Amino acid sequence: MVRPVTDLEGHPDIVELRERYDRASSMPTGYIAEGLLLLTGVYLAISPWVVGFHGTQPNLAVNNLICGIAVAFLALAFATAYGRTHGLAFVPVVLGVWTFIAPWVIAGAYATGGSIANNIVVGVIMFALGLVMLRLPGTATGRVRR
C-alpha cells in the first residue's frame, strides 16, 4: 500500500530529526555560523558599491547582488527553521565556489584587482561557513545521535 507523502509530515522520526537539527542550530556554533553567513551575504550584495566596481563591471555587480541576497535569505532561513531548511545547507558552499571564480568567468580580462580580491575572500568565507552549516554538531550525516 502506498501512503501519500503528507503522511510523512507527522511521522515521529521526521519530527525528532527536525527537532535535532533545530537543537543543533541553537548551539553557539550554529548562532555564530548563521550570523556570519548573514553578514557575508549582505556584504557580498553591497560589495560592488563598497569596492567600487559596479560601474566598470556591471554583470559582476549584478551577480554579486543576486548571490549575496540569496545567501542572506538562506542564513535567515537557517536561523529561523534549520530543521526544515538543512537540506539547502550545500547552497552556500556552491555559491562560495561560484563567487570565487565569478570574476574570471563573468568579467574575464576586464576584472580588476579589487573585484578579484573581494570575490576570492568572500567566496572562501562563504565556502567555509557553508561547510560549518553542513556539519553542525549533532547533525552527523547518516548517524543518529541521541
pLDDT digit string (tens) for 93-102?
999 999 999 9
Q: What is the pLDDT of residues 31-83, one digit of tens each?
A: 899 999 999 999 999 999 999 998 889 999 999 999 999 999 999 998 888 87
Contact between 74 and 91 (Cβ < 8 Å): yes
Contact between 34 and 25 (Cβ < 8 Å) = yes
Rounded distance, CA 19 to CA 6, Å? 18
CA distances from 71 to 1, 13, 24, 32, 133 (A): 41, 29, 20, 15, 12
CA dist., res. 126 & res. 95, Å (int): 7
In this prediction the pTM is: 0.80
